[in-house]
Amino acid sequence: MTNCECGLGHAGGGGPYAEGRELVEFVARAHGGGLRGRAVPGGGLATRCQGCGAGFILRTFVDSCPACGGVHAVSPPRSDDPANIQFAGAGFVLP
């Protein structure tokens, strides 16, 4: 995986180690919004929706559950483990 500065020095907000909605919003804003659609290295992370429990693959750093639309995200420095995926909460819609 390439070095990504968004894992290190951004000021303000919760940063890449925030949790829940704060992390989702951080990743969605990172790189001027350019990170959220970028593919997760390794073809994605298999996970289970934290809203409805459906299994799905997080293919981009911000992705949503195909069953309920729940928005999930992972930050680049933590993208090697599905346990680090954060859920924005029911009803969250990306800005």
Asked if 39 interacts with Zn ion (CB under 5 A), we say no
- Token representation of residue 77: 């420095």
| Interface pick for Zn ion out of 27, 51, 62, 76 (rule CB under 5 A) | 51
Question: Judged by CB under 5 A, which of 1, 46, 52, 94 binds Zn ion?
Answer: 52
- In DSSP terms, which residues pair with 71 in a beta bridge? 64
Which residue shows structure tokens 């949790």?
19
Closest by CA position to 87, among listed 75, 76, 67, 71:
71
The reply to whether 90 sits near Zn ion by the rule CB under 5 A is no
Q: Which residue ranges make up the site for Zn ion (CB under 5 A)? A: 49, 51-52, 54, 65, 67-68, 70
